[in-house]
Structure 1
């Protein structure tokens, strides 16, 4: 089969498009998927460059890299070569022992955080990190974490959902966002941010997005009531103690203002640090305002199950910014890093060699 192999931590040269890869064989409890599309996510790039290492202090875009053993999101050394791709949309073409053959033919997406291979509190694998993922013509996954989805979306649209949307929904779930609350979302034009805008609106919250001025109209169209330009003084724009919840994907130099704009008893949820992982926190804001902070990676199964139900009921819509063929993955990641394109960037997987 054809696919893209990551040969180690480093630059784009570590990505190799090949046409001679073996087709994976589904083991007991697994299914084999003919992949139609897989989206680009920060975690793919962060893993490639080794950004998760504690030695890296720069933003993803600044290219902080590491080849240390702690350069994966788990802090444990990765095994190479690895087929990345946290997102997977396709059709089941074969099943392993113990899986109902009637599932063959289902159009599916794979839950990006897998619980089937590990046990323990907050234990999970990332599809495309601890096991091979969706950047290939075929991928295998646990049957229990491969979900049939009935909708009229394109493959690119459906592939844009698993990683970004489950991350966003997981943050809102952990923070307990409710109708009538005001939610501030950083990186609101990106994959996770744009998903969070729609999902927060779905819950009945008032959404304020932070994005570039060029993408403000996109964010408003997704359901935000207001957009604040990235880099603006949030306290001056919104006022201190003005929002109930912050959904943060960025961190970086703008972080110190986020606790300032939270109301007393407010909640802060974070699932990314694309603007930089090292921030300055005035701890007095944290304890004197009785704030609650949530670090969000792991999510309960109900988060993904709910996401599938939202799709099937037509309560959300995808935001695909661009598509590329799989063999142009380097161009796709360069465009992703440029932040010129709002929404998801999706790779279309060829069905023939």
Structure 2
């Protein structure tokens, strides 16, 4: 059976370490490791295992035939658990003469020999496995290569956790600022939450994936964060705004986009897109750039309707709250002018 080989495992390892240093998600780490671990030793298969409490979770794999991706096994009943519990690597030439191997789990597979190394030796968070379809004794050098990869994987996982924490902290801070912007405009923090909730419902109705819907729910509250850059004398003015004052208010769209710029966070990138485009109109008469139709990002089109609906149905110092029926009729009137017809239709299915 043909094996995956590499002309220079050391160069391969250097490349994998470099890629891991740039990884920004666990899924990206898994993708790098599952294929890289296999190439390092010319194995017929490799698995990426994560510790999940007292279980081993086989999160990913790259193999000539399916192994155990997506399955969980007790730590004490699988060789990856043994490597984690004992905090050291293991190589087994014949798995069927080793009592640490759950033979019943292996019989349906191609595996005859294996090597397993823990991800982090102090407090292992997982393991990397290599498998061969013929009996083979993995060498000490191959174990060293796999352990070096596992050590780099541990660092990459810790880095991702730090980045996630920083992104979460930054998002939370900006969402607090978004609420501050709403307070300045005479609204309350419930406005941002209601807009986010309706936007998520609309996106679901329009067929967005659950992951993208959740992204929108987190990003939508940032839609008016740019109001922080508008002077109080203009933003809080009780009477009608002059043309010059309204021009100042319109600048909040670009100001919000600037506040949210320069980030790798998916939430903040979508928030930037929404801040910039949720005042664009389907017919091209909106601001700040006069975008038209499908040129307006779909997240901006959805939040545009959710924002207007909530503004219409909420009381303000200068107006009473509209009823749902009044707001619905206004949204229908503006279908194809202000709002994307598909978003209006989704809204009517949700709230007839």
TM range (shorter): under 0.3
Higher-RCO chain (CA-CA 8 Å, sequence separation at least 6): 1
Q: Which has the higher strand share?
A: 1
TM-score (norm 1): 0.22
Q: Which has the higher helix share?
A: 2
TM-score (norm 2): 0.22
Structure number with bigger Rg: 2
